[in-house]
Chains A and B, each alone.
Chain A
């Protein structure tokens, strides 16, 4: 549909010789040509020409007015993460632009494809501290994959095409395009061509076949091989290849927080999550495997703990698209550059079938320890207070493990990522690298719009909820059928946990005096319930999941519960604490 318009425009141009359009209109045509039909944003003086065009193109391009520009970026991220497409956010100059920075930084570290467009003061005013002038290109440089300021209308098509290409190719990331107001008003002869490459940019390195053979040999020879997979598997659409490798070679596999949902949670060879609040077995056994196969993950410090003691006994094979990630934190004995789907496809025929049963039983033994010490108490609690994990369990049951779970940041996030079950890829949306509180509510809006036929459940803490609570306005206005679950412990739980464990219980500014969340949701005309008693939990979760409208559920959980296991900062993964 959208490309159609461009073609018509072009032929028109050819026949009538000159059809000139404004820069602002050109931006809309560029978006349509890139297949964009939904954008998030907030208007203001410097971007008004574009908004005026949005008004005219409403039938082809939906604009969602978020209640804050940060919300626009997180919504665009949520949309991108579940749909695999580029998310688009738009804002005015100055404060509008600076409000995008958190979302840009979040998208940058979590490799989310996003294009942000900001208005800018007229080019004759640049550098004069004009009203609402901010050097957003300078400000956003460290948090974007690429950015550019357009000062001439004629630059728009080529730069927009480049922006989309860069955002989605190779290791994806956010791009910011700043457009001066005069460039939006000026007219020029429009034509659009998608970008097929940038001279200095090599998005996907070519795999090295000898290294793949070396990797295959090591995998075939290994007695205790162990796979850790990250979001690179999802971004590279390598889920099937990963599963095939795991099954063929019989290798236990663990996920990083962003790798979660790339493989069925309940797959018998899936052994859990690595990292600070990951599972006991995968963390401890990282220091016992003889071969560590890292696929599309970047050895984040929350995954490795103390690098000096991380997997020292093991050979390391690293499948990675970004050469700068290789040997950055953990030295790879073999690094296989390229897209994970491609490299795993090259590897698979060279892999011998195996089962590694004895090695698997090591993981099972460790799981039993963790189950008895931690998991059982969390999902089948006997004490009065509700636990976060039992709420997640009920959501799993009510959704048949088939919901998209969007989490904010804190204890509830770690609990959700530990206990939520997934049977489809791209179902876990969380702020992993930046750990941005306020992410979940707007990201859930984007996720629901990116996967309308799926259930989207946002799990949020009482702290993070209030950072972007105004986005309830979007949910209400557009009847976005997300399920919002606030796990309310009346504390900034995760910080309180650290205070308890490492700062002698000095709860400095982590006690939250909260408003009546149910009333607030009702104020936005959203159906809302509060559960503070275990006997009401199951039925309320089921009612929530059965609803086809937006729904708010507050669960009053234990105020001072902690998330375990835990690797304290600087400790080794094998020193993971169970209590």
Chain B
């Protein structure tokens, strides 16, 4: 089976220690987590993990099964990129002189819809939000000029299909 990118979404109780349990499931199977984001969800007191991994679908299914087994996990899903709407955020720190001396950099900023967060004497900071490949492209374009610092957030994603967490929670109560 071929490997693909999967976004694993986990709805859970907001509990200390759960991150440890979930990351342990990936660790045991030697799965590299490409990115990880944890935040509040649309439901009060329910957290959402968004984990990006590159693996075979069969394994994704098994991993989701193991994750759902954890007591505090309400529900977990895996999705291919096409089934989600997702974004990542990124910050580039670049030497200030380049902003004025390199026309090309000004074009990259314009074309990529990046915003300038701050400019100081020594450096300026660019922020961009977008899909993985857009961010990869921008990185490729800027790299030749020299990037002082580069940092990228975990992916956040919503799915095209419904995730009926509220009704699952209601069913648990019964």
Q: List 10 A-B contacts (CB under 8 A).
A: A141-B17, A141-B21, A199-B172, A201-B71, A202-B172, A322-B69, A326-B65, A327-B62, A328-B62, A328-B65
CB distance from B23 to the nearest CB of A (A): 10
Q: Which residues of B contact A197 (CB under 8 A)?
A: 172-173
B13 on the A face (CB < 8 A)? yes
A323 at the binding interface (Cβ < 8 Å): yes
Asked if A324 is at the interface (CB within 8 A of a chain B CB), the reply is yes
Q: Which residues of A contact B24 (CB under 8 A)?
A: 141-142
A196-237 near B? 1/0 per residue, CB < 8 Å: 011111100000000000000000000000000000000000
Residue contact B169 to A199, C-beta cutoff 8 Å:
yes
* Pair B71/A146 contact, Cβ less than 8 Å: yes
Distance of B21 from chain A, by nearest CB (Å): 6
Contact digits for A57-87, partner B, Cβ 8 Å, 1 yes 0 no: 0000000000000000000000000000000
- Residue A147 is within 8 A (CB to CB) of chain B in the complex: yes
Contact (Cβ within 8 A) B172 A201: yes
> Size class of A's contact patch?
20 to 34
A137 to B73, CA, bound (A): 18
Interface of B is mostly: helix
A184-206 contacts to B, CB under 8 A, are: 197-202
Question: What count of chain B residues pass the 8 Å CB interface test?
Answer: 21
Q: Which residues of B contact A138 (CB under 8 A)?
A: 17, 20
Other than the given A199-B169, A200-B13, 9 more pairs (CB < 8 A) read A138-B17, A147-B17, A149-B17, A199-B74, A322-B69, A323-B68, A324-B66, A327-B61, A328-B65
CA distance A148 to B72 in the complex (A): 12
Within B46-68, the residues touching A (CB, 8 Å) are: 61-62, 65-66, 68
Number of A-B contacts (CB under 8 A): 51
Across the interface, which residues of B come within 8 angstroms of A322, CB to CB? 69
Within 8 A of B (CB), among A106-164: 137-138, 141-142, 145-149
Q: Does B28 contact A (CB under 8 A)?
A: yes
CA distance A145 to B73 in the complex (A): 12
Is B12 an interface residue when CB atoms closer than 8 A count as contact? yes
Contacts of A142 in B (CB 8 A): 21, 24, 28
Q: A323-B68, A324-B66 are in contact. Are A200 and B73 (CB under 8 A)?
A: yes
Mark contacts of B33-51 with chain A using CB atoms, 8 A cut-off: 1 yes-contact digit, 0 otherwise: 0000000000000000000
CB distance from B50 to the nearest CB of A (A): 18
State the main secondary structure of chain A at its contact with B: mixed
**Residue among B69, B169, B173 facing the most chain A CB atoms (10 A cut-off):** B69
Query: Which residues of A are at the interface with B, using a C-beta cutoff of 8 A?
Result: 137-138, 141-142, 145-149, 166, 197-202, 322-324, 326-328
Which B71-86 residues have a C-beta within 8 angstroms of A? 71-74
Knowing A141-B24, A142-B24, A166-B71 are in contact, say whether A199-B173 is a contact too (CB < 8 A).
yes
Chain B 138-174 interface mask (CB, 8 Å, partner A; 1/0): 0000000000000000000000000000000100110
A-B complex: 5 closest residue pairs judged by Cβ atoms? A324-B65, A200-B74, A324-B69, A146-B71, A201-B71
CB distance from B140 to the nearest CB of A (A): 40
In the assembled complex, the Cα of A198 lies from the Cα of B61 at a distance in Å of: 24
Q: Which residues of B contact A201 (CB under 8 A)?
A: 71-72, 172
| Interface-centre pick from A149, A197, A202 (highest chain B CB count, 10 A) | A202
On whether A137 and B71 interact (CB within 8 A), knowing A199-B173, A323-B65, A328-B62, the answer reads: no
Nearest residue (CB) in B for A166 is B71
Residue of B nearest to A325 (CB): B65
A200 touches B12 (CB 8 A): yes
B1-30 to A contact mask, C-beta < 8 Å, 1/0: 000000000001100110011001000100
B49 to chain A minimum Cβ distance, whole angstroms, is: 13
How many angstroms between the C-alpha atoms of A197 and B173 in the bound complex? 8
For B15, the closest partner residue in chain A by CB is A148
- For B73, the chain A residues whose CB sits under 8 A away are 200
Question: In the complex, what residues of B have CB within 8 A of residue A149's CB?
Answer: 16-17
A141 contact from B20, B61, B72, B172, Cβ within 8 A = B20
Chain A residue nearest to B20 (CB atoms) is A141
Minimum CB–CB distance from B63 to chain A (whole Å) comes to: 10
A495-B30 Cα distance, complex, nearest whole Å:
28
Q: Which residue in chain B gives the minimum CB-CB distance to A329?
A: B62
Contact residues in A for B74 (Cβ distance below 8 Å)? 199-200
B17 near A324 (CB under 8 angstroms)? no
Q: Distance (Å) between the CB of A235 and the closest chain B CB? A: 16
CB-based nearest A residue for B11: A200
Residues of the B chain whose Cβ atoms lie less than 8 Å from the Cβ of A326: 65
Question: How long is the Cα–Cα vector from A96 to B73 in the complex, in angstroms?
Answer: 30
B21 proximity list for chain A (CB < 8 A): 141-142
Q: Is the CB of A145 within 8 A of B71?
A: yes
Which single residue of chain B is at the shortest CB-CB distance from A323?
Answer: B65
